Copies of this chain bind each other. A is one copy, B any other.
């Protein structure tokens, strides 16, 4: 028997009906191919069905379909150190010859000698001093011109791959799936908004206006007759923890229907999402795969590395609230796009 186009249409109509009544349709079988079949993948597919099928009691108008993703540890690798911190250290190295005094001054001394032990004890003030010299004192366009060549060439030591290659294929598939279903996908990151905007469109398909992040003060200035936005060594907005709920409200003005994170800094974003009515999806990536990526936590007895901490308290919160914990090891068939 030859299968005609009309047969295919019939099949997909039947599948749609099945989907609407809660079964797993033929079309759904092929969704999210890098995910193993299980409750995590199932939760995503059910959520999309609930919010986008016209017949669903939890149907959400396209204009309100908002999904937010943390970046570090949720969309790409954050170990052994956040990519933006690696950039800052590299930039310090480039600038060091002009600053001989850094050899004797903290936090620069430890950073320049890559003293992990000392760096793990850096205070917020220490990091702000590093940000001040590496991320400020220049216009926004000059900053972009410094980040761009770095991010397009710098490699993560363990994998010998570009940092932008170390994105999670399963999450790219979720973003694509949500977009196809009419969701606007935002990145809501503790990282620097201007930094992430340099590559977010190319790497994740997320345009600058859909990146919510931390920022430093900028001042409007005229330089050689042209206006510039001068980056000042002073924090303006910290988009982390409670700041993620605040940032979402300020930048988007709508409550997300789905939120994805991986660490303590994402808790309030998930709480804020869940506090809305109708169908809401809250998910946390758990890094439990030392072979293919990293294992840290300390939830589930994994080591606490102070980078992307997923505490026991967060795990208890997730269990209490019905948030879905994604096991990298068990839920993800493939981790990186470059894997076969």
Q: Which residue of B lies closest to A271 (CB)?
A: B227
Indicate if the CB atoms of A272 and B63 lie closer than 8 Å. no
Instruction: Indicate whether A140 sits within 8 Å of B249 (C-beta atoms), given known contacts A207-B63, A219-B242.
Output: yes
Q: In the complex, what's the smallest C-beta–C-beta distance from A318 to chain B, in angstroms? A: 16
Does A252 sit within 8 A of B, measured CB to CB?
A: yes
CA gap between A271 and B221 in the complex, in Å: 11
Indicate if the CB atoms of A250 and B207 lie closer than 8 Å. no
- Among A197, A215, A253, A272, the most chain B Cβ lie within 10 Å of the Cβ of A253
Does A208 sit within 8 A of B, measured CB to CB?
A: yes
- Among A184, A194, A249, A271, the most chain B Cβ lie within 10 Å of the Cβ of A249
Q: Which residues of B contact A197 (CB under 8 A)?
A: 253
Indicate if the CB atoms of A250 and B193 lie closer than 8 Å. yes
CA gap between A150 and B161 in the complex, in Å: 57
Does A52 sit within 8 A of B, measured CB to CB?
A: no
Indicate if the CB atoms of B246 and A208 lie closer than 8 Å. no
Does A229 sit within 8 A of B, measured CB to CB?
A: yes
Q: In residues 151-201 of chain A, which contact B (Cβ within 8 Å)?
A: 184, 193-194, 197
CA gap between A245 and B254 in the complex, in Å: 23
Question: Chain A contact residues: over half helix, strand or loop, or mixed?
Answer: helix
Q: In the complex, what's the smallest C-beta–C-beta distance from A3 to chain B, in angstroms? A: 37
Q: Which residues of B contact A193 (CB under 8 A)?
A: 250, 253
CA gap between A209 and B246 in the complex, in Å: 14
Q: Which residues of B contact A184 (CB under 8 A)?
A: 209
Indicate if the CB atoms of B208 and A253 lie closer than 8 Å. yes
Does A6 sit within 8 A of B, measured CB to CB?
A: no
Indicate if the CB atoms of A226 and B140 lie closer than 8 Å. no
Does A18 sit within 8 A of B, measured CB to CB?
A: no
Instruction: Indicate whether A218 sits within 8 Å of B250 (C-beta atoms), given known contacts A227-B268, A245-B227, A275-B227.
Output: yes
Indicate if the CB atoms of B271 and A246 lie closer than 8 Å. no
Does A338 sit within 8 A of B, measured CB to CB?
A: no
**Top 8 A-B residue pairs of the complex, sorted by shortest distance between their CB atoms:** A208-B253, A220-B242, A209-B252, A220-B245, A227-B271, A197-B253, A227-B275, A218-B246
Q: Which residues of B contact A194 (CB under 8 A)?
A: 253
Q: Which residue of B lies closest to A201 (CB)?
A: B63
Q: In residues 222-273 of chain A, which contact B (Cβ within 8 Å)?
A: 226-227, 229, 242-243, 245-246, 249-254, 268, 271-272
